[in-house]
Amino acid sequence: MDRVALRGLRARGHHGVFPHEREEGQTFVVDLVLGLDTRPAATADDLSRTVHYGEIAEEVVDVVRGEPVDLIETLAERIADRCLEHDVVQEVEVVVHKPQAPITVPFDDVTITITRSRV
Domains of the chain: 2-117 (3.30.1130.10)
pLDDT tens across the length of the chain (119 residues): 999 999 999 999 999 999 999 999 999 999 999 999 999 999 999 999 999 999 999 999 999 999 999 999 999 999 999 999 999 999 999 999 999 999 999 999 999 999 999 87
Predicted TM-score (pTM) of this structure: 0.96
Active site residue 98: yes
Which secondary-structure segment (H or E) carries 30? strand 26-36
Instruction: Tell me which of 15, 78, 97, 98 is the catalytic residue.
Output: 98
If one counts every other C-beta atom within 10 angstroms of the C-beta of residue 82, the result is 18
